[in-house]
Amino acid sequence: MSDLLANDVRNMFDRAFATIRGIIEIFPEDKWLAPHGDDYYIPSSIAYHIASFMDGAVAGGFRDPNFRENLPFGEWHGITADKLPGKSALLEYYIGAEDRCKKALAGITDADVTAALPPEMARMGGTQLGAYLGWMREISDHTGEMNKMLIENGIDDIWK
């Protein structure tokens, strides 16, 4: 059986991962912990949210009931600039999360992609593909925020 759908899912996640990683890598160090418009739009905070979301959803961390308590920098929401990670520390966590995501996605098949979701995940859709699309929406939404902050700092946006 072909894994055409599974390959597309992996490819789109790989491209999304490359985009956010590229943004993190070139983001100006001196603007990493600075609010961009208001206290919610701090690059480190948004990047940490993306990385922890990927780790929890795509990589399967949600299966661990203590996942949020074990995040390396605490819960991302509401974290203040003085507790946010510097760029190199965040990039290290991001790379680990990306690797865990790629490992989780490596073995998926078309049968997995089209499998029905359990009732507790019904808000994501009827199939695993619905969950993948929802996860991609979340990652892409915040990647757009990061790209906007790059532009505000005079750097071209990243699109891989």
Kindly give the confidence (pLDDT) of every residue in the chain, 160 residues in length, as a single tens digit, with 9 standing for 90 and above.
579 999 999 999 999 999 999 999 999 999 999 999 988 899 999 999 999 999 999 999 999 999 999 999 988 887 888 889 999 999 999 999 999 999 999 999 999 999 999 888 888 889 999 999 999 999 999 999 999 999 999 999 999 8
Cα gap 32→47, rounded to integer Å: 10
Cα gap 79→51, rounded to integer Å: 15
6, 110 contact by CB (below 8 A)? yes
Residue whose entry in the numeric block shows the structure tokens 């003085």: 82
Boundaries of every domain in the chain: 4-152
- Alpha carbon of residue 50 to chain centroid: 3
Note the CATH number of domain 4-152. 1.20.120.450
Cα gap 88→92, rounded to integer Å: 6
